Structure 1
Amino acid sequence: MQIESYISAVQNFTKKYEVKTICEIGFAGGHSATLFLLLTDSASYIGFDLWDQPVYENTAIEWVRQQFKNRRITLIKGDSTKTVPQFQGKCDIIHIDGAHHAHFPKMDMKNMERVASVNNLLLMDDCSKSWPAVLKGVEYLKTNNLLDNLKMHVPEGWIYRGAQKGWCIGSYKVKNQAKHMPKSFTFLDKTFCTPSWHGHNCEVYSIKPCSKLSDECFYSNVTGTLSVSCERWHGAQSVEQITWDKRVTATDRNDAHAKSFDYYKSLPPNLGNIIEIGAGPFTQAQTIVQGKTATSITLIEPMAFHYMTNVKGCFYKNGTFGNLPTTILSIPAEELSKIRKFDTLIMINVIEHVYDAISILNSAINLIKENGLFIWHERLWNEYLGVANSVNDREFQLHPVRIKNVIAKLVISMFDENYISWDTEELRRLKNQGVYFIGRKRNIVAKTKVPQHPPCFEGGHGTQSVIFFLSNTNSTEKIFQDQLILVNNAANTKAIVIIQTDKFNNTAIINLLKFSKIRILISYQHLQNWRKEVGHYVKPCFFILPYLTLEMLKGSTTHCVGSSSGHVSVVLMGYSSKRFSNYNTILPAYINMGIIDQIILIWNNKYEPFIPKFNSSKITFIKAEDNSMNNRFNVSHFVRTDAILIIDDDVLMCESLLLSMLLEWTENSDRLVGLSRDMRFVNSKNEYLVKGKEPSLTIGKTMLFHRKYLEKYIRDKVLVEWNKNRFCEDISMNALIFKETNLKPLFINMTANSMRRDLSEVDGASIVDKNWAIHRTECVQWISEYFNVQFYGNRSLV
């Protein structure tokens, strides 16, 4: 019973909080240590034990360390009432099962309270009347208000060695011991008193209480209300959410803001990479970019995914901002840990909606490149005293954070002014002070040091980031929905990143954004540079998995999962009846791969009848009139995708290898992508070789390239005619792409989990023709002269 109770408590705790450290008083035989290590992903273990029974204790610790080789397991030997007070770390799960007599239980309970994390789970053994000293310790914790939600479990009739068994589960009430508020903070080289502290040197302490109609505990008469509690912020966010859910509109005062900025006339024609902080459902960027150009846009909005699924006119409803490569971060800007710099930063009417103004303003300044543009508007509250005007003061409910002029002027001092206005028609309409400002960032380094605000956005407490590549189609498929459920519910999942592989519709968006741990959505326009874009926020994945398991999610690396369904067409061409059995293996495998949009099967032998046995909408079957290797390239009028995979009918490629090739190709869509096994070489004498140092081309056994090259090949009548009765079409395609790009093929390495399987090749041309290498050399020499390219030389290799 006790074990089941502990398991349930730990599992519930790990769903909410990250467990870094397990602390236990009383290692003994290591039974409970083993249980806690099994129930956590990567937590370290620290045991405090008198170690007075080394005969079995040494054996136990050796066994535990052997079972958990990758964990940090530490033993602190000696009297726990003396060793714990010297311990300087923090504990997330605490188990007290030390000496049960005299003063020891009380001292252990008291000492462990000091090292408890803010979010902690407390487990205590033998909380029952049979151990009065243990109950005395519990009573001490209760009397001193050191416990939260402690529950005693004393099953009736459970007797062990004549004593009533029992246990306790709860947590220590940690009073923010590590979050002491300093008297002052520094912002852009200027020092201010922290709210509740006053005087020239912040020497006077005078706290005023907050209430439903007062933010006075957060308020300073010098700087205004710069930050509020998470509870206050969430309340304001709820009011904001309801406001937009009910309002029928397509803008957020965009025209009024544009007029106040003199219609953005001072902006240059090209805004480069844009970031908008606090985008709301409609964004101000949609107005600003009209008539201008931009490279990309990043939208930061904690309620972005709610707006996309609930606000009818949301500008980025399908995860994209027009034709611009788009990244949407559904998190508060305060909680960004790593991000690049931008050419243009937009922040209009945002500060009053955040929970930490100084953190946001400092981040905004640091996000802008030197000489980059800052487009900023904020209302200013010099007359505000931190108190609501009335019980119906909706402004107070919506906008808890309100800065004064002194903060605005400090921010502006970091920029060279392009445009500024302190008095506009919109400000007068609102009967409010404020500023509209456009400036270029100056080369200034200013010190900012502010107390760290606890994060206010519910997120994953694990270490795992999972990147899903999803299309409009497969986002609704059961296999990917099941995968999303698995990842979203996994305790070790910190965040989910979604990368679109094509344009999403409303149904796909709604199906995706119901998962709470999705934090980042990257549009399909970023597909070619997804690694770089993802790398600004999480570590890019280095391997692709078709699906994940809970075991995989226990790791600390970033995983990629899913595929870009419908993103590649496979072209197969056959001639020999001896390979009929191959198709019974190849076709069902390719039909079941979500990544494959269609299979174009060309039968080149009109004298040998062949009809594929598999009835699938994916298969396009073509009976060729002539036996020519050119036929495999004469299919552009059938394909629907840009990516074309030419593959022989004597091999079978697994989906993970195909996905690896495709993802490499998406970043290099003008290139030819092959496999390292298919590297071929050309020496300085223009001879075709199977071995060498610098690969020059890839053979046609497996080739991935853009469909545009099919059309270029077929339009070249000289090339087509020359290849009609030769087996040189693959060398010709290598040369054609080389001529277009001046770049040789990229090669993907196979791994044990990402392979191409060999099937029957009893009648391959290279086997039948004893002079194969000579003929291939002749092809190389003719083609290199025809295209005026030199195969011999440097190459590209992935």
Structure 2
Amino acid sequence: LRKRSDTLLTWERPNPLSSKLRQFCTRLNRVPTFLRVWVKPNSWIGRLVLFLIFISGVAFMCSGVTYIYGGNGAEEPYPLNGQYSQFTLLTMTYDARLWNLKMFIRHYSKCSSVKEIVVVWNKGMVPEPSEFDSAVPVRIRVEEQNSLNNRFKVDPLIKTRAVLELDDDIMMTCDDVERGFKVWREHPDRIVGFYPRLVDGNPLKYRAENYARKKKGYNMILTGAAFLDTQFAFSRYWSEEAKAGRTLVDKLFNCEDVLLNYVYANSSSSSSVEYVKPAWAIDTSKFSGAAISRNTNVHYQKRSECLAKFAELYGSLANRKSKFKQRKDGWDV
């Protein structure tokens, strides 16, 4: 390559409702202080009030999860120039996350534009496709080595140009997925996804999305939820030029998404990433012990190490900043 590349619950929509919702949440955050003053936990009334608050919180959370997992989920696709298309959904997992995968497939298989779901199986007892409740074909691709590089392996059995790379612990609405697919069809040469990051500074440091928001721009899209051109992305990722990067990915068991961003940036003189804001996004790994990157500090340290190495190998991303709020439809606020 020539020199030139974590999520919490989000529930805002780009409309006036979101501002009212933010105001409500701000007021809600003040409730604990109010309760400490007016509710006495040692009294039976205090315990009753706290119990009712707890039950209400559980009910609210369950209704949110039901909204994501339940229903038919098959919102209408968005046409581009009057035409519709389909994509392949690809996720990578292993046996300890099977319970999550079943819910994942049940939900996303009902999204209108999904043609097939490909499960990259990295380790453990391989399930049968018949174990999944799916509205579309499910293919399990068993890998010999447990490597994050398998996510972008060239797969001649994929029949669509577009692939949605989606972590098995990310749940969002089908409407968000369909909007992302429409944006990718407008810019098929870009990584189009839902989790932006900004890489800058000296030394380079990996930071969360709020840093990109503060700086009003981004130059990286995490591929835990992103649309790609399967032929371009996979062939470039497995090129000889990217071999040193793949070696580091295996060494740290991290950063495959960071490497792909550098690969894309190195192949284009224009913007190589595009952001779409999801209305809802739930990271279900927060509810299990099978998360890949539960230790945030260690995770971020590894990714900062990757940034330094990839910049040395492939050049900087610092001068490739894209701004939020550039789309007329408001999908990138």
TM-score (norm 2): 0.64
User: What residue in structure 2 maps to residue 721 of structure 1?
Assistant: 247
The reply to whether residue 699 of structure 1 matches residue 218 of structure 2 is: no
Whether the 8 Å CA contact 1:568–1:642 is kept in 2: the answer is: yes
Distance in 2, Cα, partners of 1:650 & 1:756: 10
Q: Which residue in 1 is equivalent to 2:23?
A: none
- Structure 2 residue 253 is matched with structure 1 residue 733: no
Between the two proteins, the alignment pairs up a number of residues equal to 237
Output the CA distance in 1 between the equivalents of 2:312 and 2:291.
28
Q: Partner letter of residue 719 of structure 1?
A: G
The answer on 1:681 being equivalent to 2:226 is no
User: Post-superposition shift, 1:687?
Assistant: 1.3
Matched, 1:599 2:124: no
Contact 2:89 2:117 in 1 (8 A): yes
Q: Which residue of 1 aligns with 2:54?
A: none
Name the SS of the counterpart of 1:593 in structure 2: coil
The amino acid across from 2:239 in the alignment is: R
Q: Determine if the alignment matches structure 1 residue 630 to structure 2 residue 149.
A: yes
Shift of 1:738: 1.3
Question: Counterparts of 2:186 and 2:126 in 1: how far apart (Å)?
Answer: 41
In the alignment, structure 1 residue 757 sits paired with structure 2 residue 282: yes
Aligned partner of 1:644 among 144, 163, 174: 163
Whichever residue aligns with residue 782 of structure 1, its letter is K
Q: How does 1:38-77 map to 2 (within 5 A)?
A: none
1:758 shift after superposition: 2.9
Deviation at 1:744, TM superposition (A): 4.1
- State the partner residue of 2:99: 581
Task: Measure the CA separation in 1 of the matches of 2:281 and 2:206.
Answer: 24
How far has the Cα of 1:770 moved from its partner? 4.0
CA distance 1:779–1:647, change in 2 (3 Å): same
Give the Cα separation in 2 of the matches to 1:723 and 1:736: 14
Distance 1:645 1:653 in 2: 13
1:672–1:703 Cα contact (<8 Å) kept: yes
Asked if 2 retains the 8 angstrom alpha-carbon contact of 1:684 and 1:792, the reply is no
**Secondary structure in 2 matching 1:597:** strand
Map Cα deviations across residues 627-662 of structure 1 (whole Å, 9 max, x no partner). 000111014312111111111011123221111111
| 2:185 corresponds to 1:669 | no
Displacement of 1:792: 5.5
What are structure 1's unaligned runs of at least 5 residues? 1-478, 484-498, 502-526, 535-562
SS in 2 for 1:621: strand
* CA distances 1:444-495 after superposition (whole Å, capped 9, x unpaired): xxxxxxxxxxxxxxxxxxxxxxxxxxxxxxxxxxx99xx9xxxxxxxxxxxx
Query: CA distance change for structure 1 residues 581 and 786 in 2, over 3 Å: closer, same or farther?
Result: same
Superposed displacement of residue 597, structure 1: 1.0
Matched, 1:795 2:305: no
Contact persistence 1:600–1:622 (CA under 8 A): yes
Contact 1:744 1:795 in 2 (8 A): no
Q: Cα RMSD between the aligned structures?
A: 2.7
SS of the residue aligned with 1:765?
coil
Structure 2 unpaired stretches of 5+: 1-73, 325-331
Match of 1:772 among 296, 299, 314: 299
Checking the alignment, whether the CA contact within 8 Å between 1:595 and 1:655 is kept in structure 2 is no
Cα displacement string for residues 686-745 of structure 1 (whole angstroms, at most 9, x for unaligned residues): 111113213221223201111111111112333333322331110011111111123142
Of stretches 643-652 and 759-768 in structure 1, the one that deviates more from structure 2 is: 759-768
Amino acid corresponding to residue 112 of structure 2 in structure 1: G
- In the alignment, the residues of structure 2 paired with residue 673 and residue 702 of structure 1 have an alpha-carbon distance, to the nearest angstrom, of 9
Alpha-carbon distance in structure 2 between the residues aligned to 1:605 and 1:672: 27
Q: CA deviation at 1:683?
A: 2.5
CA contact (8 A) 1:682 1:688 kept: yes
Q: Distance in 2 between matches of 1:642 and 1:618?
A: 17
Contact 2:104 2:171 in 1 (8 A): yes
Alpha-carbon offset, residue 585 of structure 1: 1.3
Give the AA of the match of 1:667.
Answer: E
Identity %: 22
1:745 partner letter: V
Q: Counterpart in 2 of 1:710?
A: 234
What's the counterpart of residue 273 of structure 2?
745
DSSP-derived class of the 1:783 partner: helix
Matched, 1:569 2:88: yes
Contact in 2 for aligned 1:657/1:756 (Cα 8 Å)? no
2:285 alignment partner AA: S
Q: Deviations over 1:752-786 (max 9, x none)?
A: xxx33332343323314642211111111111221
The residue type equivalent to 2:273 in the other structure is P
Whether the 8 Å CA contact 2:199–2:317 is kept in 1: the answer is: no
Q: Find 1:658's aligned residue among 170, 174, 177.
A: 177
The TM-score with structure 1 as length reference comes to 0.28
CA distance in 2, matches of 1:603, 1:710: 17
d(CA) in 2 for partners of 1:741, 1:636: 24
With over 3 angstroms needed to count, the CA separation of the structure-2 counterparts of 1:796 and 1:739, relative to structure 1, is farther
Cα separation, partners in 2 of 1:611 and 1:635, compared to 1, 3 Å: farther
Q: Distance in 2 between the 1:792 and 1:701 partners?
A: 24
Rounded to whole Å, the distance in 1 between the matches of 2:172 and 2:87 is 13
Distance 1:585 1:765, change over 3 A: closer
Is the CA contact (8 Å cut-off) linking 1:738 and 1:744 kept in structure 2? yes
1:519-577 Cα distance to aligned partner (Å, 9 max, x none): xxxxxxxx4xx3xxx8xxxxxxxxxxxxxxxxxxxxxxxxxxxx935x11111111251
2:220 aligned partner, one-letter code = L
Instruction: Report SS of the residue matched to 2:311.
Output: helix
**How far, CA to CA, are the matches of 2:112 and 2:119 in structure 1?**
18
The answer to whether the 8 Å contact 2:200/2:317 transfers is no
Give distance in 1, aligned partners of 2:114 and 2:320: 34
CA distance, structure 1, for counterparts of residue 95 and residue 207 of structure 2: 27
Whether the aligned pair in 2 keeps the contact of 1:572 and 1:647 (CA below 8 Å) is: yes
| Structure (1/2) with the larger helix percentage | 2
Paired with 1:749 and 1:770, the residues of 2 have a C-alpha distance of 25
1:620 aligns with 2:147: no
Q: Which amino acid aligns with 1:764?
A: A
AA in 1 matched with 2:108: Y
Q: Distance in 1 between matches of 2:188 and 2:293?
A: 30
**1:455-604 mapped onto 2 (5 Å cutoff):** 527=80, 530=81, 564-565=84-85, 567-577=86-96, 579-604=97-122
After TM superposition, give the deviation of residue 668 of structure 1 in Å.
Answer: 0.8
Name the CA distance, whole Å, in 1 between partners of 2:121 and 2:295.
20
